[in-house]
Amino acid sequence: MNDWTSIVGLVAVAAPASVTLLLALLLLLGVRISETLIHRLMQIGTVVGLVSLLALFIGLISTGRVEQLVNLGNWVTIPPGYHFKLAFQFDRLSIPFAALVFVLCGTVGAFASRYMHREGGFQRFFLLFSLFNTGMILTAVAGSVEVMFAGWEFVGLSSVLLIGFFQERAAPVQNGFWVWVVYRTTDTALLFAAILTHQLVGEGDFHHLLGGGAWPNEVATVTSTQAFLVGSLLLVAAAGKSALLPFCGWLPRAMEGPTPSSAVFYGALSVHLGAFLLLRVSPLIAASPVLAVLVVLLGLGTSIFAGAVGRRQTDIKSVLSFASLTQVGLVVAEIGLGAWVPFFWYVALVHLLGHACLRTLQFVRAPSLLLDYRTVENALGDHLPRPAVKNQGFALWLNRLALERGYLDAALKQYFVRPVLNLFRVIHRYEEAWANWLNGTPKEEAPLSGEGLAGPSVASRLRLPHPPEQQPQQLSTKAPV
Amino acid sequence: MTWTQWPWLELTIAVPLLFAVATFFVRDQLRAVRLAGLGCAITFLLAVVAWIAHSLADVSGAGPLFRVDELTAPLVPLVAFMHLLTVVMTSADKARRFGTPRFLLSLFLRLALFSTFEQNLLIPLLVLCVVPPYFDLRSRGHRSRLYVIHMGVFVALLLVGWILTSSNLIQLGAACYLVAALVRSGVLPAHVWVPDLFANGSLSSALLSVGPLVGVYMAVRLAVPVAPGWMLAAVTVLSLLTAVCSAGLALVQDSVRRFVAHLFVSFSSLVFIGLEVHTRESCTGALALWFSLMLSATGVGLIVRALEDRYGLLPLKSFHGLYDRGPLLAVGFLVCGLACVGFPGTMGFVASELLIDGTIHENPWIGIAMILVSAMNGIAIMRVYWKLFCGRKPASQAELPITRTERWSVTLLCLIIVAGGLFPQPELNSRMKASSVLFVNPPVPEVATTHL
């Protein structure tokens, strides 16, 4: 019985991965396929994955088991003792989450096949969407830190490339870049945690770190201090991915992407990935009361912040993104509370699943908001009442703070990013001055990094007319941040 | 005599020299470039056969002068492959300035360099290898004093080290070799020549001069086996500073060429660190990263070169929006760039993980710094990707589509990088065997008797 459940578990992982590889290969080889075929491939990958997962679930239920570990052995082995384990874990946490991924990706994929119809980059969109699907499944069912890290990175890359999907405008690209900076910075914490795990328990798989037993009955095998260290690093990684404080600023920026990706990424799945990670390592949180308190405070703080800020946003997707964040904050707080009352972990999981479904629906309906408003107002025969907003004194200051999303992004840029960049710019100036001195280049002659020495370009020598300089179009109606 | 005992390695080295002579007499530059392409293809095939012969029969070359071991057996075909890619991705427009005989001569020198163990041959080859970029700079009318100063120091240290080791002053000689290797690799404070070469020389010449990490090879062959532990520790600190500094400089570059240069310097410093820390894991990781870097960073450089051939210099102060003009070039840039920083699914992932894990055992701060370097480089790569390929509609209406050879080159490169990422064990087995070469003669411990 174990064998067939292992096989269907593998199929659940392999199905979306195969579709991703196929679409990537076709793009690489320059083979253009029809929208219908792309959609069909996505459907097949999603349906096969979901059916396999459900079959595995039924298999577990019928045998009274609560967990299935699929160990494919070592992906990499370096004697005497170094190895990367390829392991997947199907349990009460990963199966519902993976099923959610398949259902929402399938649904939104079907929506996107119509929404993105005849859009330039249709194949590129679905490749990235499929990569995201693969990353989410890998993260959901990862049985080792290495597999989780791989899935985590796939999710991050596909997210930022989809934020910058409308790549002919500067704003999506700039926002995608900022999100990448946040992801990359916080993902170092995940990598630190992976390495620390290897150091502490000699293995990367969760069973060695979190003890035997099925979720959520695992008991961490490390001391309270070690749990705090590893858990804190994972908390930072989770905060980056789920846009918890102080990284909330990137979430509304991510709305630059197409609505289907906004829906499934930031309404449903990607934004909950941090919470999922915390649920996966909940025994670590239970092992360290200090960590548990931190998690609760972070969750509540994010929730309060997002609730306040969301009320002052000026476009529907930003409103929804902060509404989403409010709930994610509550989920995280519930996870922290589970350290004292483990039942809260189940509450967090159910909360997460329900919220993801609701928010996806709201996001895919968001482009129709204005139409909905007009329909209601036509039916009423009058404008909908506007809520009164106090705009004096402290209320004005608070409104402004909320409108500017707490100036969090500005603060991160001012106090973390700019000092680092300025330091390296200074070093670069000194380096160039030193190089010019060594080269004997007079100051007025110092070339702009080889300008004019590469020769005229082919385009300029063909003397083709250039269109007038095009300014990046700010099509978004959001308030500038 | 079986086929594995034929002189494949000698043929590999001789073919570029023959084609260099042949192309010298060809007046039509385009024809010369095509001939060079044929020569590089034959060289590459011969190098692969030599590698297979070595693997099957452990035959490391028929002659006393040229032979390969586990370390260099895959590097020789890789060097040939880099040159092959460079020449096939040379546009017809660039052919008139390509300098085909010099290119083939450089290939000959580099192949000979990676195929010899003899110090008496290695040193002259190392000296000769620094000459072609000098002529490249001069032919483009750019000042070469910076390059001459640094390579002068390199050559001087090399020669002094040679004299000292020949006179049994082993540790002093090793110190000279090690410092020479640092200069050649662009480690602080002797790093400024690398971005200068990239910015002002031809990109292909710079890539092939810096890409094979000749400085690292030289250190492995000449210095690491005989250098005492304290010397390696000092070099580790310098390499770490270089890696961090270059990663940060890559973030703030306005020139894409200098960005590529800093990428090379940063990652070659990481390779240095792995070799200097000198554990089994770190050495295997360093060698694997070396292999991966030669492919991926060269890929990044060649794609930038292809874009510059079409659109001129591409400053990073503004967006260029070139995706629609070359989607495959954009995809190739992304895949190669992400492989450089060890993204999962690419060849660099396991190498980076292994390197970090191997070094963190010895010194956690080194491991932490390496993770930060990787993060910064990851940010820098994506920044450059978006600047080059996104952010606006392309300014030029010129449709200059990717050529067939460019398409196949980029596709092949991406497939190799991804295949190496999904199935890394064969490459790692090879690098594990190569790291054993480094452990045959471990570094001299501090208490060893000096030869002064």
Tokens found for residue A130: 């499929």
Tell me the Ramachandran region of residue A440: left when phi exceeds 0, alpha when psi lies from -120 to 50, beta otherwise: left
Taking an 8 Å cut-off on Cβ atoms, the answer to whether B143 and A439 are in contact is yes
The Cα A355–Cα A427 span in angstroms is 48
- A436, closest residue in chain B (CA to CA): B146
pLDDT score, position A1: 44
Q: What average pLDDT does range A359-384 have in this prediction?
A: 86
Which residues is B280 bridged to in the sheet?
A: none
Average pLDDT of chain A, as a whole number: 85
Q: Taking Cα atoms as reference points, which of B199, B344, B441 lies closest to residue A152?
A: B344
Taking an 8 Å cut-off on Cβ atoms, the answer to whether A435 and B309 are in contact is no
Taking an 8 Å cut-off on Cβ atoms, the answer to whether A460 and B321 are in contact is no
The Cα A212–Cα B134 span in angstroms is 63
pLDDT at B442 over 50: no
Helices (H), B312-398: 327-340, 347-362, 364-389
pLDDT at A435 over 60: yes
> Which amino acid belongs to residue B130?
V
pLDDT digits (tens, 9 = 90+) for A200-228: 877 666 667 777 677 777 777 788 898 89
Under 8 Å between Cβ of A51 and A66: no
pLDDT digits (tens, 9 = 90+) for B377-394: 999 999 999 999 999 888
- A82, closest residue in chain B (CA to CA): B281
N-terminal to C-terminal alpha carbon distance within chain A: 56
State the burial class of residue A346 (Cβ atoms within 10 Å of its Cβ: 0-12, 13-18, 19+): middle
Under 8 Å between Cβ of B171 and B179: no
> Which amino acid belongs to residue A477?
T
pLDDT at A95 over 60: yes
Q: Confidence class of residue B440 from pLDDT cuts 50, 70 and 90?
A: low
Place of tokens 């036509």: A378
Residues of A in contact with B310 (CB under 8 A): 457-459
Angle between helices B100-114 and B8-24 (to 10 degrees): 160
pLDDT > 90 fraction of chain B, expressed in percent and rounded: 60
* 3 state DSSP class of A69: strand
Q: Is B140 on the interface with A (CB under 8 A)?
A: yes
Interface test with A, best of B198, B282, B313, B322 (most A CBs within 10 A): B313
Q: Confidence class of residue B446 from pLDDT cuts 50, 70 and 90?
A: very low
pLDDT at B357 over 90: no
Q: Is B163 on the interface with A (CB under 8 A)?
A: no
The Cα B109–Cα A106 span in angstroms is 56
> Which residues are CB-neighbours of A400 under 8 A, at least 6 positions away?
none
pLDDT score, position A466: 43
Regarding predicted confidence, which is higher, A464 or A107?
A107
Q: Is the bond preceding B228 in cis, omega lying within 30 degrees of 0?
A: no
Q: Is B433 on the interface with A (CB under 8 A)?
A: no
Under 8 Å between Cβ of B141 and B102: no
pLDDT at B59 over 80: no
Taking an 8 Å cut-off on Cβ atoms, the answer to whether B357 and A82 are in contact is yes
pLDDT score, position A200: 81
pLDDT at A193 over 70: yes
Residues of A in contact with B252 (CB under 8 A): 421, 424-425, 428
* 3 state DSSP class of B377: helix
Closest-CA distance, A147 to chain B, in angstroms, reads 9
pLDDT at B448 over 60: no
Under 8 Å between Cβ of A175 and B399: no
Q: Which of residues 371-410 of B touch A (CB under 8 A)?
A: 371-372, 374-375, 378-379, 382-383, 386, 389-393, 395-398, 400, 407
Under 8 Å between Cβ of A251 and A266: yes
Interface test with B, best of A22, A168, A470 (most B CBs within 10 A): A168
Taking an 8 Å cut-off on Cβ atoms, the answer to whether A472 and B392 are in contact is yes
Select the residue of A173, A192, A464 nearest B398 (Cβ to Cβ).
A464
Closest-CA distance, A230 to chain B, in angstroms, reads 15
> Cα dihedral sign for A66, A72, A74, A76?
negative
Taking an 8 Å cut-off on Cβ atoms, the answer to whether A439 and B196 are in contact is yes
Taking an 8 Å cut-off on Cβ atoms, the answer to whether A168 and B414 are in contact is no
Taking an 8 Å cut-off on Cβ atoms, the answer to whether A438 and B143 are in contact is no
Under 8 Å between Cβ of B308 and B314: yes
The Cα A164–Cα B383 span in angstroms is 12
pLDDT > 70 fraction of chain A, expressed in percent and rounded: 90
Q: What average pLDDT does range A388-406 have in this prediction?
A: 81
The Cα B12–Cα A480 span in angstroms is 61
**What is the total residue count of chain B?**
452
Select the residue of B383, B397, B411 nearest A466 (Cβ to Cβ).
B397
Q: Confidence class of residue A22 from pLDDT cuts 50, 70 and 90?
A: very high
Q: Confidence class of residue A3 from pLDDT cuts 50, 70 and 90?
A: confident
> Which residues are CB-neighbours of A115 under 8 A, at least 6 positions away?
A258, A259, A260
Taking an 8 Å cut-off on Cβ atoms, the answer to whether B371 and A170 are in contact is no
The Cα B302–Cα B308 span in angstroms is 10
Interface test with B, best of A157, A457, A462 (most B CBs within 10 A): A457
Q: Confidence class of residue A94 from pLDDT cuts 50, 70 and 90?
A: very high
Q: Taking Cα atoms as reference points, which of B178, B177, B371 lies closest to residue B270?
A: B371
Mean pLDDT is lowest, of A301-305, B125-129, B181-185, B361-365, for B361-365
> Which residues are CB-neighbours of B107 under 8 A, at least 6 positions away?
B16, B40, B43, B79, B80, B83, B208
Closest-CA distance, B20 to chain A, in angstroms, reads 24
> Which amino acid belongs to residue A340?
W
Under 8 Å between Cβ of A256 and A318: no
Q: What average pLDDT does range B66-86 have in this prediction?
A: 92
Select the residue of A184, A427, A447 nearest B379 (Cβ to Cβ).
A184
Residues of B in contact with A420 (CB under 8 A): 248, 251
Q: Is B279 on the interface with A (CB under 8 A)?
A: no
Taking an 8 Å cut-off on Cβ atoms, the answer to whether B391 and A449 are in contact is no
Average pLDDT of chain B, as a whole number: 88
> Which residues are CB-neighbours of B36 under 8 A, at least 6 positions away?
B19, B23, B87, B98, B100, B103, B104
ipTM score: 0.91
Taking an 8 Å cut-off on Cβ atoms, the answer to whether B375 and A187 are in contact is yes
Q: Taking Cα atoms as reference points, which of B439, B90, B92 lies closest to residue B286?
A: B439
pLDDT score, position B443: 41
pLDDT at A449 over 50: no
- B255, closest residue in chain A (CA to CA): A449
- B330, closest residue in chain A (CA to CA): A28
pLDDT digits (tens, 9 = 90+) for A57-82: 998 888 888 888 888 888 888 877 77
> Which amino acid belongs to residue A377?
E
Taking an 8 Å cut-off on Cβ atoms, the answer to whether A439 and B146 are in contact is yes
- B391, closest residue in chain A (CA to CA): A170
Q: What average pLDDT does range A450-477 have in this prediction?
A: 42
pLDDT score, position A445: 56
3-state class percentages of chain B: helix first, strand second, coil last, to nearest 5: 75, 0, 25
Torsion of CA A71, A76, A82, A87, to 10 degrees: -20
Residues of B in contact with A191 (CB under 8 A): 356, 371
Taking an 8 Å cut-off on Cβ atoms, the answer to whether B140 and A438 are in contact is no
The Cα B397–Cα A465 span in angstroms is 7
Q: What average pLDDT does range A414-427 have in this prediction?
A: 93
Q: Taking Cα atoms as reference points, which of A138, A177, A171, A190 lies closest to residue A20?
A: A138
Q: Which of residues 175-204 of B touch A (CB under 8 A)?
A: 192-193, 195-196, 199-200
- CA A355: distance to chain centroid? 16
pLDDT score, position B69: 85
N-terminal to C-terminal alpha carbon distance within chain B: 48
Tokens found for residue A309: 């800020």
Q: Taking Cα atoms as reference points, which of A156, A20, A138 lies closest to residue A86?
A: A138
Taking an 8 Å cut-off on Cβ atoms, the answer to whether B319 and A435 are in contact is no
Cα–Cα distances (Å) from A123 to A30, B336, B414, in that order, read 11, 21, 19
- CA A418: distance to chain centroid? 24
Residues of A in contact with B245 (CB under 8 A): 424, 427
Q: Taking Cα atoms as reference points, which of A266, A253, A248 lies closest to residue A360?
A: A266
pLDDT at A189 over 50: yes
* 3 state DSSP class of A72: strand
Q: Taking Cα atoms as reference points, which of A200, A130, A189, A119 lies closest to residue A161?
A: A130
> Cα dihedral sign for A152, A155, A161, A166?
negative
pLDDT at B447 over 70: no
Regarding predicted confidence, which is higher, A368 or A158?
A158
Under 8 Å between Cβ of A159 and A189: no
Tokens found for residue A22: 């196929």
pLDDT score, position B63: 61
pLDDT score, position A463: 41
pLDDT score, position A462: 43
pLDDT score, position B286: 93
pLDDT digits (tens, 9 = 90+) for B198-244: 999 999 999 999 999 999 999 888 887 778 788 888 889 999 999 99
Tokens found for residue B395: 């300014």
Q: Taking Cα atoms as reference points, which of A417, A458, A9 lies closest to residue B309?
A: A458
- A84, closest residue in chain B (CA to CA): B350
The Cα B288–Cα B273 span in angstroms is 13
The Cα A108–Cα A95 span in angstroms is 20
State the burial class of residue B440 (Cβ atoms within 10 Å of its Cβ: 0-12, 13-18, 19+): exposed
* 3 state DSSP class of A142: strand
The Cα A246–Cα A244 span in angstroms is 6
> Which residues are CB-neighbours of A46 under 8 A, at least 6 positions away?
A15, A16, A102, A105, A106, A109, A133
Under 8 Å between Cβ of A328 and A278: no
- CA A264: distance to chain centroid? 10
Helices (H), A366-392: 369-380
Tokens found for residue A366: 């968001």
Under 8 Å between Cβ of B297 and A446: no
Select the residue of B145, B281, B398 nearest A78 (Cβ to Cβ).
B281
Q: What average pLDDT does range B141-165 have in this prediction?
A: 92
Select the residue of B251, B356, B382 nearest A421 (Cβ to Cβ).
B251
pLDDT score, position A365: 85
pLDDT digits (tens, 9 = 90+) for A97-116: 999 999 999 999 999 999 89
Q: Confidence class of residue A468 from pLDDT cuts 50, 70 and 90?
A: very low
Residues of B in contact with A174 (CB under 8 A): 391
Select the residue of B141, B248, B361 nearest A420 (Cβ to Cβ).
B248
Under 8 Å between Cβ of A231 and A285: yes
Angle between helices B425-440 and B347-362 (to 10 degrees): 40
The Cα A21–Cα A38 span in angstroms is 13
How many pairs of residues across A and B have Cβ atoms under 8 Å apart? 197
pLDDT at B88 over 70: yes
